[in-house]
Chain A
Amino acid sequence: MFAQNGLIRKSVIAMIFLLVFGFSERLSAQQQDPNKQKGFFEMSIEELMDIEVYTASKYKQNIHRAPASVTIITADDIRLYGYRTIADILQSVRGFYVFYDRNYSYLGARGFAPAADYYNRVLVLVDGHRISENIGGSTFFGNDFLLDVELIERVEIVRGPASSLYGADAMFGVVNIITKNGKDYKGTEVAGRIASYQTQKERLTYGNIFDNGLDILVSASNYSSDGHKLYYSEFDDPSTNNGEVDNDGERARDIFAKITFGDWSLTTANVARKKKIPTASFSQVFNDDRSQTLDKITLVGLTYNHEFSDKFSVTGKVTYYQYDYDGRYPTDYANPGEPPDIQNNKDMWRGQWWQSELMLTAQPFEKHKITWGGEFHYNAKEHQKNWDTDVYSDDNRHTRNWSVYAQDEYSIFDNLTLNAGVRYDEYQAVGSTINPRIGLIYNYSDKTTLKLLYGEAFRAPTSYERYCSYVDYQKTNPTLGPETIKTYEVVLEHELDKDTKITATGFYYRLKDLIAKEIDPSDELSVFENTDGVSGKGAEFEIEKKWKNGMRGRASYSYVQTELVDTHEILTNSPKHLAKFNLIVPVIKDKLFAGIETQYTGDAKIYNGGYIGGFGVTNLTLTYQDLIKNLEVAFGVYNVFDKKYGYSGSGDHVQDSIEQDGRTFGVKLTYRF
């Protein structure tokens, strides 16, 4: 905190400047012609097509008919709330919560995020392509995410089981991240951000659409941060530097390119991210600056979509994904009492997969819209290796899986739709699974919709869970079967008036064969097993509102009660209460915006059986558009009230709770030309 004084002073001055400038703008605006705003009749058609209008009961035809509760976060939300990562975005969404262990960010949904190794029970897609790596099945939500969040057009969060359409991992929902196009830029954009702890980010983007319709977008970003000097009481001993560690630095760079032409779209993204680990996780030596992880991810996704007519369309996708992970874990192998024997343990994963999908949609009868298709997935490489002086594990294999699915959207009446789907997945050496989903959507009026849903979903055991072994520590379990979940949901969506929408949901789920790491009493080794499982039940309530002056916001509360089926104990890292509040205020119309958000996370049980207290975090971002022509300035304060809080550690941490950031500041400039 002390090292920040200079930055705090500069930031406060910047903020005062912004507010004073804003005030004087406002005063002068009042003296001018109230129509000085560029009128709609002065705009070109392209500009008119860019304006977001809020339409009442046509809120979004798709949302109303979707057999799920959907939330959409737009590029404007991302900009005005100052979201830095996907984790920031998802943390604001009803029912979701993210946490960070100073190495990776993880996502919890519907109270489910137990302290296990990797979390992939929410399927994340970029432009429709799956982006989880094929060894641990994890998705990256921090600066290790495939692309800069400023390139995102919108994020669609579809809750509930969706394996009937998407296959594995869509247990609690699907998050589809849709990227911008060149036509959203029509030129070059450069952005620079500086923030607390010597954090800086630069981005250069070029996008354009040409007369023949060819649309190109390319972008590169670079990020670096010194991180925090941290203190962990668990290591407060002269032999471990009195608990002090200065190893929290991070660097990341990502490159993105997207080409769209006619029915074709090619999305390519590449990220390389290095993070130093300060927590001495996995029994590492404390305060050794060699402790780090390096993740490199490449995605190449090609999509073909052709509408033959109103009633028949085809989508084809081919995806290539490569994951290279290198971890360094300085570990002391000496027995107690012996002199230290420190080796820099090397952990490596090399993953590569291909996927192709064909999906057809047809409306052979007036009342039936049928979607069907198939997917083929080939894991070209699943290589895990761990070594230092000895090789502790080395496993390399390739596997494949394929699936077929079908869904019928049956319009029984104009206001009653039945959505029924089923998917069959076959995994080489694991077996097969069938997952149905059925939803009844009743549009009681054009303001009220009631949805009743039942769905099954699954998660296939990953290569890591089945084949990873460490000598004397962990063994393999090739017989692991998939986890399955059954969910029952009720969703009520109602528009109180043109500008106000409320959503209420209730759900119950039963997750069976939960894959968890246990210790086999016969040989004391860790092994992944299909355990008894978990159940959860809860309710969520949300209100979204827009005002005529452009102010808009939403507030939500979610309650969920989870328990382990055999012991009736509540799950770890499963807060019962979550509340979120978001508000965008146009302080000066079309010029100065304030984005305010507060997220409250209730008590949660932590790994050692204790509890972490509830906490609320507030973030505020002020954005000044067109400060001078084409220049935008944004000033953000995160954790405004400097709340001290932490997230649960896991079995891999000595710490029970990993403390998160206090108040931090950031200033970003964006310039278009």
Chain B
Amino acid sequence: MKIKAYIFVVVVPVLFIGPKARADSAASLEYQVKAAFLYNFIKFVDWPKEKAADPNTPLTIGIIGKDPFESAFEPLQEKEARDKKVVIQRFEGFVELEKSGKKKKDQPHPKSQDIQKCHLLFICSSESERIADIIASVKDHSVLTVGDVKDFLESGGIINFVMEEQKVRFEINITAARRAKLQIRSQLLRLAKRVIDEKDAEGNKNK
């Protein structure tokens, strides 16, 4: 009885650890989930009519800097948000440009007009020293700036990802959203871990 139990209980389950299923896509689970969050943010933010009126213009998610998402956005090729297609555009960050020797000191970032056309701009952590510059370059173009570094909101970013016990959360700077003429729907505000309003200089945490 002892040996039989051993076989059933230990050996048989081990047999099921067979050949691994095909490898997960290259991006870590964290960024796969964040990619889905960015898609959801688009659904709960309203852009001013000038930027979002044309039904044939796709919604653009821009990624500037060292891209951690890799192939995480692949499923979006088949999806739509707000009845429009969603496209991804990648921009090299300042760090990458400096490495390749292309950037000259004090030059405005190339392709800044393209960045301004994005609806959502994700600023990668590789650009954390340049956040203020990037946000300044998209000022007045109603770009929803998203980041995942400390003090992103304090630097003028609109939505910042934070980790809480290995789960993804986000916080919102409502004043920056107003400056960018973006309306953030209450469904999204309600789920934010923290919403800061620069005017009142007070934060309130939703648990």
Contacts and interface: CB of A to CB of B under 8 A. Distances in A.
Interface of A: 8, 12, 15-16, 19, 22-23, 26, 34-35, 39-41, 43-46, 48-55, 58, 60-61, 72, 154, 213, 260, 307-310, 498, 548-549, 585, 587-589, 592, 594, 620, 622, 637, 640-642, 663
B21 interface: yes
Contacts of A35: 75
Interface in B137-170: 163, 165-169
A55 B37 contact: no
Contacts of A589: 21
Contacts, number: 113
A51 B33 contact: yes
25 contacts: A34-B21, A35-B75, A39-B36, A40-B32, A41-B35, A45-B44, A46-B191, A48-B168, A49-B167, A51-B168, A52-B165, A52-B166, A53-B166, A54-B29, A54-B30, A55-B30, A55-B163, A60-B165, A307-B203, A548-B23, A585-B13, A588-B16, A592-B16, A620-B13, A622-B13
B207 interface: yes
Contacts of A15: 8-9
B202 interface: yes
Given A53-B28, A587-B17, A307 B205 contact: yes
B105 interface: no
A548 B24 contact: yes
Contacts of B202: 308-309
A549 B76 CA distance: 23
Interface in B1-59: 1-2, 5-6, 8-10, 12-13, 16-17, 20-24, 28-30, 32-33, 35-37, 39-40, 44
Contact of A307 (B17, B21, B32, B204): B204
B10 A45 contact: no
A53 B30 contact: yes
B29 A19 contact: no
A310 B79 CA distance: 38
A45 B12 contact: no
A8 B79 CA distance: 51
A212 B29 CA distance: 32
A51 B167 contact: yes
A40 B28 CA distance: 13
Contact of B35 (A34, A40, A46, A548): A40
B136 interface: no
A642 B4 CA distance: 13
A55 B166 contact: yes
Contacts of B9: 15, 620, 637, 640
Interface string B162-202: 01011111000000000000000000100100000000011
Contacts of B79: 41
Given A43-B36, A51-B167, A53-B33, A260 B207 contact: yes
A53 B13 contact: no
Contacts of B32: 40
Nearest to B207: A260
Nearest to B41: A45
Contact of A26 (B12, B16, B29, B169): B16
B36 A48 contact: yes
Contact of A19 (B13, B40, B76): B13
Given A48-B40, A548-B23, A585-B17, A640 B168 contact: no
A51 B166 CA distance: 8
Contacts of A620: 9-10, 13
Nearest to A307: B205
Contacts of A52: 165-167
A13 B65 CA distance: 56
A604 B21 CA distance: 45
Query: Which of B2, B44, B206, B207 counts the most chain A CB atoms within 10 A?
Result: B207
Interface in B100-117: none
Contacts of B30: 53-55
